[in-house]
C-alpha cells in the first residue's frame, strides 16, 4: 500500500504565478510528497502525491484556470488494477 494514494497532475494558467509561492503553500498546507511545481509566471505544471486531491484542485483553481487534470489512484495501480 502506498502512503499517498492519489497522483494528482494539472496545469494552472494565470497571471503572476510563482513556483516558489505555490511550492511553499503546498509544503505548509497539504500532506503529500513528490511535489513538482514548474513553469513560469503564466503557466505552472503541478504533480503531487496526496490523499486529498480535491484540496489541491481547489487551491490551484484559486490561482487561475486549471486544465489537463489527472487524478490516478496509485494504490489500485500497485495492485495491477486500472488507476
Is residue 82 included in any domain, yes or no?
Answer: no
> What is the CATH classification number for the domain harbouring 53?
3.30.70
For the chain, the domain total comes to 1
If one compares 83 and 42, the residue with the highest pLDDT of the two is 42
Is residue 28 included in any domain, yes or no?
Answer: yes
Is residue 83 included in any domain, yes or no?
Answer: no
Between the CA of residue 20 and those of 25, 35, 37, 57, what are the distances in Å? 9, 12, 8, 18
Phi and psi, residue 39, nearest 5°: 155, -145
Is residue 81 included in any domain, yes or no?
Answer: no
Longest Cα separation, the chain: 41
DSSP code for 62: H
Strand partners, 48: 8
> How confident is the model over 34-39, as a mean pLDDT?
98
Is residue 1 included in any domain, yes or no?
Answer: no
| From 11-20, 37-46, 59-68, 72-81, the region with the lowest mean pLDDT | 72-81
Provide the pLDDT for residue 27. Answer: 97
Amino acid at each position: 500500500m502506498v502512503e499517498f494514494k492519489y497522483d494528482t497532475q494539472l496545469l494552472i494558467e494565470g497571471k503572476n504565478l510563482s513556483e516558489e509561492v505555490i511550492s511553499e503553500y503546498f509544503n505548509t498546507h497539504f500532506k503529500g510528497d513528490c511535489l513538482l511545481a514548474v513553469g513560469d509566471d503564466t503557466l505552472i505544471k503541478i504533480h503531487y502525491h496526496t490523499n486529498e486531491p480535491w484540496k489541491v484542485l481547489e487551491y490551484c483553481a484559486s490561482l487561475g484556470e486549471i486544465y489537463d487534470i489527472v487524478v490516478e489512484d496509485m494504490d489500485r495501480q500497485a495492485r495491477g488494477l486500472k488507476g
